[in-house]
Amino acid sequence: MLRVLGLTKEYSSTLACDHVDLSLLEGETGVLLGPNGAGKSTVIKCIMGLLRYKGSIEVDGHSNKLESAKRIMGYVPEIPALYELMTVEEHAEFIRRAYRLDKSGREYADELMTRLELQDVRKMLGKELSKGMQQKVSIMCALLPRPKMILLDEPLVGLDPHAIKVLKNLLVELKANKTAVLVSTHMIDSVSDIWDRSFIMVKGRIVKTCTKAEIADQGESLENVFFSVTEDPA
């Protein structure tokens, strides 16, 4: 579903990503781990086509910058930012029109609003919502087009425990529906029960890729592997 080859991104004199290779299969959940400033968000933004880069990124066989690729991608940004003068339901309606979804999109929007507990605030403007609520709307917008692949950049920051549980359940459902998921986070605990493949980044490079099965075979935990790699990157 996702194939990233030799992704390199340089900001002025800083190398944010250095020959990053990663891939995800249909229905697979990948976690992009790393300390602050490792380059996780840059990788996500490159995949979403927001940045220039060297290398190649393909989503379901399409170049990520094409409309055909964007149509099947969902994105939950690190900082939720909604249109201040649009209500929650108007955000959903905008997404429905932008992704050319049929009328069933409205029903799905209703369903998502119910699950994410947004029904009470559906008539509220973006600027009237708390940070946590904005994050929920952001998640709803990403899920609404029923993407084949979804990228979540630190999605749990700002959510209350109940919302975290709801989001985890949604991610499990996405997995069951063969959606590829890539979650960037530095909160390892939060993804321990949903991941299939992990990519650990340090200083712009992926220093370790492993699957859940591999780690289980070694009798290790993801947390231990993460610390062993990040505390001694050599």
Per CB under 8 A, the list member of 15, 125, 164, 166 interacting with another protein is 125
Q: Pick between residue 25 and residue 81 the one whose CB is nearest to another protein.
A: 81
Binding mask 56-75 for another protein (x = CB under 8 A): ---------x-xx-xx-x-x
According to the binding rule CB under 8 A, does residue 94 interact with another protein?
A: yes
Site residues for another protein, 29-58, by CB under 8 A, read 45, 48-52
CB 28, CB 176: distance < 8 Å: no
Q: Does 148 bind another protein (CB under 8 A)?
A: no
Please tell me the distance from the alpha carbon of residue 72 to that of residue 59, in angstroms, as a whole number. 8
Exposed/middle/buried for residue 36 (C-beta within 10 Å: 0-12, 13-18, 19+): exposed
Burial 96-127 (b: 16+ CB within 10 A, else e): beebebeeebeebbeebbebbebeebbeebbe
- The site string for another protein over 95-114 (x = CB under 8 A, - otherwise) reads x-xxxx--------------
Are the C-beta atoms of 61 and 132 separated by less than 8 Å? no
Tell me, rounded to whole angstroms, the distance of Cα 65 from its chain centroid.
17
> For 42, how many CA atoms within 13 A lie in the half-sphere containing its CB?
26
Residue with smaller CB distance to another protein, 98 or 216 = 98
In the complex, what is the shortest distance from the CB of residue 129 to another protein, in angstroms, rounded to a whole number?
12
At 16, which amino acid appears?
A
Rounded least distance, CB 52 to another protein, Å: 5
Which positions touch another protein (CB under 8 A)? Answer: 12, 45, 48-52, 65, 67-68, 70-71, 73, 75, 77, 79-87, 90-91, 93-95, 97-100, 125-126, 138, 141
